[in-house]
């Protein structure tokens, strides 16, 4: 039985009913990112402080004098969510130690988009992870600078057309492979790294809960379908995320203390990437040969990952 297709049966019992990201925010229709943030908040619960980077999620949720946030939330700038989160964590730690605040455990979470994580926020994130703060950092990756108008980032996939790497007569869009951010975080030797997608809500929630239970830094890379930027129908955001996973374009896995594990949601046999590409305007210009060469890369990257999962197994897998 497929859990997601029977989500309505499971959800009421498994998921925190309390909304910590309230309705009335200004996200686009069909935004999978805001769905992911909402699920993340449910998994985190009330004893949470969030430090957000500038970006879609920041502007849609905090238009002064309104706010969608029911948890303590701070936004400072674009490139520093991880540094701000690390400061919040250090401040709360000192205050709790000195008995100046309630003696309760509060999880600090940094969040940013792909630009705020992989490009401009990369240094601050690397520093915060290396210092070992007790915090989670979640990258909501919609594969371009959507808030500023769909410009390419290092998270944009090969071949995607964006406003600064457009497809044209002599260009096929993005010329570079997507930066492998989860592996870079694994290389920081943090206790927990996972990939997730709100199209698999139970898997995503479990991973957030896992990260929350770890005393130390953890990183979750959340694939967030953006119908506006990808030029895909807004009602397909959830199924598009599933296709990204089923084709191996965005595999779901976790790395706990260096041990790899593929999520049980990963299919035995990957679907061809053209199934995923076909209803997205950003890939429409690609030729069959170009899609084939991207297919080869996706297949070989997925093989590498499965080999890691085979040789660097978790004990309880």
Partner 1 sequence: MGKRVGLEVTVAVAEAVALCRIDMAGVYPITPQSHIAEHLSTLVADGKLDAEFVTVESEHSAMSAVIGSSGAGARSYTATSSQGLMLMHELLPIASAMRLPITMAIANRAVSGPLNILNDHSDIMPQRDAGWIVVFAENGQEAIDLSIQAFKIAEHKDVMLPVSVNIDGFQLTHMVEPVEMPTQEEVDQFLPPFVPHATLHPARPVTMGAFAMSDYFTEIMKAKDEAVKNSKKVILEVWDEWEKMFDRSYKPVETYQADDADVLLLTMGSMGETAQLAIDELRAKGVKAGLVKLRLWRPFPFAEIKAVVKNAKKLIVTDRAVSFGGPGGPVFSEIKSALYAETQRPTIYNYIYGLGGRDVTVHDFVGMFEKIIADTGNVAADTYVFWGVRE
Question: How far is it, in rounded angstroms, from Cα 139 to Cα 182?
Answer: 10
CA distance 3 to 49: 30
Q: What distance in Å separates the CA atoms of residue 241 and residue 223, rounded to the nearest whole number?
A: 7
Helix orientation angle between 81-97 and 122-131, rounded to the nearest 10 degrees: 30
Q: Which is nearer to partner 1, 62 or 195 (CB)?
A: 62
Residue with smaller CB distance to partner 1, 48 or 232: 48
Please report how close the Cβ of residue 263 comes to partner 1 at its closest, in angstroms.
30
Omega of the bond leading into 216 within 30 degrees of 0 (cis): no
- Nearest approach, Cβ of 242 to partner 1 (angstroms)? 32
Between CA 300 and CA 253 the distance in angstroms is 16
**Residue 103 Cβ vs partner 1, minimum distance, rounded to whole Å:** 11
Query: CA torsion 61→67→71→75, rounded to 10°?
Result: 60
Residue 61 vs 247, nearer CB to partner 1: 61
Q: Smallest gap, in angstroms, from Cβ of residue 245 to partner 1?
A: 32
**Cβ–Cβ under 8 Å, residues 118 and 137:** no
Q: How far is the CB of 48 from partner 1 (least distance, A)?
A: 7
**Least CB distance to partner 1 at residue 193 (A):** 20
35 vs 68, which CB is nearer to partner 1? 68
The helix-helix angle for 7-14 and 201-213 (nearest 10°) equals: 20
Binding residues vs partner 1 (CB under 8 A): 46-49, 51, 58-59, 62-65, 67, 69-77, 79-80, 83-95, 97-98, 100-102, 104, 106, 123-124, 126-128, 130-131
Nearest approach in angstroms of CB 63 to partner 1 is 5
Give backbone dihedrals phi and psi of 53, rounded to 5 degrees, phi first.
-80, 165
Q: Which is nearer to partner 1, 89 or 265 (CB)?
A: 89
140: phi then psi, degrees, rounded to nearest 5: -95, 100
- Where helices occur in 156-265 by DSSP H, the ranges are 181-186, 201-213, 227-230, 237-246
Nearer to partner 1, 97 or 278 (CB): 97
When the beta carbons of 87 and 166 are compared against partner 1, the nearer one is 87
């Amino acid at each position: 039985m497929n859990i997601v297709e029977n989500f309505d049966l499971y959800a009421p019992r498994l998921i925190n009913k309390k909304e910590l990201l309230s309705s009335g925010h200004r996200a686009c229709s069909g935004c999978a990112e805001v769905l992911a943030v909402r699920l993340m908040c449910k998994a985190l619960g009330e004893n949470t402080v969030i430090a957000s980077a500038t970006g879609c999620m920041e502007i849609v949720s905090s238009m002064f004098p309104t706010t969608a946030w029911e948890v303590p939330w701070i936004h400072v700038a674009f490139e520093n969510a991880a540094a701000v989160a690390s400061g919040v964590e250090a401040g709360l730690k000192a205050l709790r130690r000195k008995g100046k605040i309630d003696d309760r455990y509060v999880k600090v979470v940094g969040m940013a988009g792909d630009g705020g994580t992989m490009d401009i926020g990369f240094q601050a994130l690397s520093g915060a992870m290396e210092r070992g703060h007790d915090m989670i950092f979640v990258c909501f990756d919609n594969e371009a600078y959507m808030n500023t108008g769909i410009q390419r980032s290092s998270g944009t996939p090969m071949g995607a057309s964006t406003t600064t790497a457009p497809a044209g007569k002599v260009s096929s869009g993005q010329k570079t492979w997507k930066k492998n951010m989860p592996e870079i975080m694994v290389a920081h030797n943090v206790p927990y790294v996972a990939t997730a997608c709100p199209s698999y809500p139970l898997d995503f929630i479990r991973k957030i809960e896992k990260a929350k239970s770890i005393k130390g830094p953890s990183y979750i890379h959340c694939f967030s379908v953006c119908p506006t930027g990808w030029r895909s129908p807004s009602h397909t955001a959830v199924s598009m995320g599933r296709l990204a996973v089923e084709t191996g374009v965005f595999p779901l896995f976790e790395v706990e203390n260096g041990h790899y594990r593929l999520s049980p949601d990963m299919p035995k046999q990957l679907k061809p990437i053209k199934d995923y590409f076909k209803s997205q305007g950003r890939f429409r210009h690609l030729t069959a040969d170009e899609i084939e060469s991207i297919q080869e890369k996706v297949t070989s990257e997925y093989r590498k990952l499965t080999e890691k999962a085979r040789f660097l197994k978790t004990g309880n897998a």
